[in-house]
Every structure is written in C-alpha cells, then in structure tokens.
Amino acid sequence: MNDEVEIYAEALAIYGPTAQIMMMLEEMAELQIALLDRIRGRGDLDLCRRQIVEELADVSIMIGQMRHMFCSEAEFDRQKKLKIDRLGERIKARMAKLKAETELLETR
Ligand SMILES: [Mg+2]
C-alpha cells in the first residue's frame, strides 16, 4: 500500500464514510464555483487559475478516497479505460464526419 492509499484508508477510518462522501460533495461544489468564476471572468485570471488547481487537487484527493471506499484499483482502471476508449471512438467518428462535410463543401 502506498502512502497516498494508506492516508485515504486512515481518513475513512477516522472520519467515516458518510463524512467523507459529504466532503466529496463539498469539494466538487467548490470546484464548480471556481470554474464558474473563471467562465464569468470574476476576479484576477491567475487567482482563478490557482483556485481551480487547488480545487482540482481537493477533488482528486476525495476521488482517491471514494475509489478506496467503493472499488478496487483494477475495477476502476477497467471502467476508466472503457470510458476513454468510448471517448476516443466518438472523437474519431466526429473527425470523420467533419472531414466528409469539408470534402462535400469543397466539391461544390
Ligand atoms: Mg476545496
């Protein structure tokens, strides 16, 4: 067990799953607010960027705890690979469609 996973396990043991699920929701909300601030141009751009990075780190830590709570590394990795493969296929299909549309316009 690496240090990070050990810390996730300890946090879950000390605070309990309900508190950590609540923390996950709170950190996701903070990231949403930081991203909305960036989209709406609220405040200094570099401050917005740094807040996004901070909230990404918080969410990433909570995702680590949720992964530890709900699934094995192997199950998560399989699910993530499926999603990435699906995204890759959608991008490939979209690119082929755009290319066909461009070629059609060029022949007119
Ligand atoms: Mg936070």
Q: Which amino acid is at 38?
A: R
Rounded distance from Cα 54 to ligand 1 centre (Å): 7
Rounded distance from Cα 27 to ligand 1 centre (Å): 5
End-to-end CA distance of the chain: 62
The reported pLDDT for the residue numbered 108 is: 78
Q: Which residues of the chain have pLDDT under 50?
A: none
Burial 51-64 (b: 16+ CB within 10 A, else e): beeebeebbebbee
Q: Which pair of tokens denotes residue 29? A: 């909300």
Domains of the chain by residue range? 1-70, 72-108
The reported pLDDT for the residue numbered 107 is: 87
The reported pLDDT for the residue numbered 2 is: 79
The reported pLDDT for the residue numbered 1 is: 59
> Contact, 5 vs 68, CB < 8 A?
yes
Rounded distance from Cα 20 to ligand 1 centre (Å): 13
> Contact, 55 vs 25, CB < 8 A?
no
